[in-house]
Structure 1
C-alpha cells in the first residue's frame, strides 16, 4: 500500500486513472440513486422530450424516444462492468489452469493443451465472438459466453510461459524432492508467482472486454434494447450525425473514459507488482 501511494503521488496519470475508475464504479454501483431518471433504463417513451440537446434538465440530452441519456449511460456502465467481471472471472481461471498444467507437467499434456490454445489464438477474437453470436440468441448471457470463449487462451499462454520458466527454479525442485504432489507444486508453489502478471493483465483486459462487448452491441449482436448498452447507443446515434451529435458523442466518451482509466490503473499495477518479482 505504501508503494502504491508513492507511485500514485509520483505519477499524475496514475491518479487520473484511479479517479476515472472510481467514478465509473461509483456510477455503476449507485446508479439507482445517482441517475436523475432511473425509470429511463427500460422501455419508457416520452415523445414530449424526444431528441432534445443537452440542457439544464437533461445534461446530456435525450434520445429519440425522450429518455435521459445521462441516466442510460450510468446503467450502461453497470452492464459493461458486470459483463467484464463475469467474463474475466470465468476466462482467467480456465486459462490459468490450462497454462499451469501445460507449463509444469509438459509432455503430451503440454502438447494437447497448447495446441488447443493455439487453435483459439489463431482466430481473430472479434471474428470468433461474431461467429458465436451469429449462432446464439443475442442476449447478455450469450455475449458473456462469446467473449469468454475468445479470452481464456490469452491467460493460458501467459501462465504457460511463466510456469515453464519457473519449473526449473530451486523452490520447485525442493518441493519435488521433499515429496510434494504435482498438484501441490503447481498450485501452491508456481501459481502464486504467476499472480502479479495475471492481476495486471486482468486490469488491462477489463477495458478491452468493454470495447469488444460494445463492438458486438454496435453490430446488433450483443445486449439488446431496451437494456442500455454503450455500443448499441453509439450505433443508434451514428445514424443521426451530425444533427443529434450528443447521441453518439457522450456514449463514445463514456467508453473512452472507462478504457483509458483501466489502462492507466493497469500500468500502475504493473509497476507495483513488477517491483516485487
Structure 2
C-alpha cells in the first residue's frame, strides 16, 4: 500500500484519473439521486423548455424536446459503463483462454487458434462492429455482442505472447517434471503471471469500449432513442451547431472525461503492477 500510494502521489495525472473515473462511476450509480429530472431519461416531451441554453435549473441546457441534458448524460454514463463491464466480462475470459492454450500447447493448436485470431485482427474493429450491427437489430444487447466480437482477439494476442515466454521458465518446467496436468500448469502457474498485464489492459479498454460504443450510436447503430446514449446525443446535436452548441459539447466532453480518466488509471496501474513485479 505504501508503494502504491507513493507511485500515485509521484504522478498527479494518476490522481486526476482516479478523480475522473470516480466521478463517472458515482454519476452512473447514483444517477437516480443526482439527476434533477430523472424522468427525462425516457420519452418525455416538454416543449415549453425546449432547446434552452445552459441556465438554472438546466445547467447543461435542454434538447429539442425539452429534456434536461445533464440528467440524460448521467444516465448515458450508466449505459456506457454497463456495456463496458459486460463486454470485458465476456471478451477477456475468451481471449485469455485461447491465448493460454495456443501459447502453451503450440503446434497445431497454436496454428489454428492464432490464425483465427489474425482473421479477426485483420478487420478494422469499428468496421467489424458495424457489419454485425448492420445485420442485427440495433439494441443494447446486440451492441454488446458486436463489441465483444471485436475485442477478444486483443487479449488472445497479449496472453499468447506472454505465455510463450513463461512456458520456458523454471517454475513451469518444474511443474512438468513433477507431473502436473496441462490445465494446472496453464491456469495455476502461467495465468497468475499474466494477470498484471490483463488488468492494465482491461482498465485502458474500458475507455476504448465506451468510445467504440459511442461511435456506433453516433452512426445510428447503437442504443436507440429514447434511451440516453452519449454517441447518439452528439449525433443529434451536431445538426444544430454552432447555435445550439450545448447539445453536442456536453455529451462530447462526457465521453472525453470517461476515456481520459480510464487511460490515466491504466497508466498508473501499469506503473504500480510493474513496480510490484
**Fold-level match, TM-score > 0.5?**
yes
* Cα distance between partner residues in 1 of 2:276 and 2:165: 17
* Cα distance between partner residues in 1 of 2:276 and 2:9: 19
Aligned to 2:185: 185
Aligned to 1:262: 262
- CA deviation string 1:10-62 (max 9, x = no partner): 11111110000000000000010100000000000000000000001100000
TM-score by length of 1: 0.99
**Structure 2: runs of 5+ lacking an equivalent:** none
TM-score by length of 2: 0.99
- CA deviation string 1:148-194 (max 9, x = no partner): 00000000000000001100000000000011000000000000000
Aligned to 1:120: 120
- Alpha-carbon distance, 1:4 to partner: 1.8
Aligned to 2:251: 251
* Cα distance between partner residues in 2 of 1:217 and 1:156: 27
- Alpha-carbon distance, 1:263 to partner: 0.4
- CA deviation string 1:233-276 (max 9, x = no partner): 00000000000000000000000000000000000000011122
* Cα distance between partner residues in 1 of 2:256 and 2:4: 24
**Structure 1: runs of 5+ lacking an equivalent:** none
* Cα distance between partner residues in 2 of 1:267 and 1:57: 37
* Cα distance between partner residues in 1 of 2:276 and 2:155: 21
Tell me whether 1:97 sits opposite 2:83 in the alignment. no
The 5-angstrom pairing of residues 1-277 of structure 1 reads: 1-277=1-277
Runs of 4+ in structure 1 deviating by more than 2 angstroms, as ranges, are none
- CA deviation string 1:80-118 (max 9, x = no partner): 000000001100000000000000011111111000000
* Cα distance between partner residues in 2 of 1:133 and 1:15: 37
Aligned residue for 1:275, secondary structure, equals helix
Q: How many residues align?
A: 277
Q: What RMSD, in angstroms, separates the aligned Cα atoms of the two structures?
A: 0.5
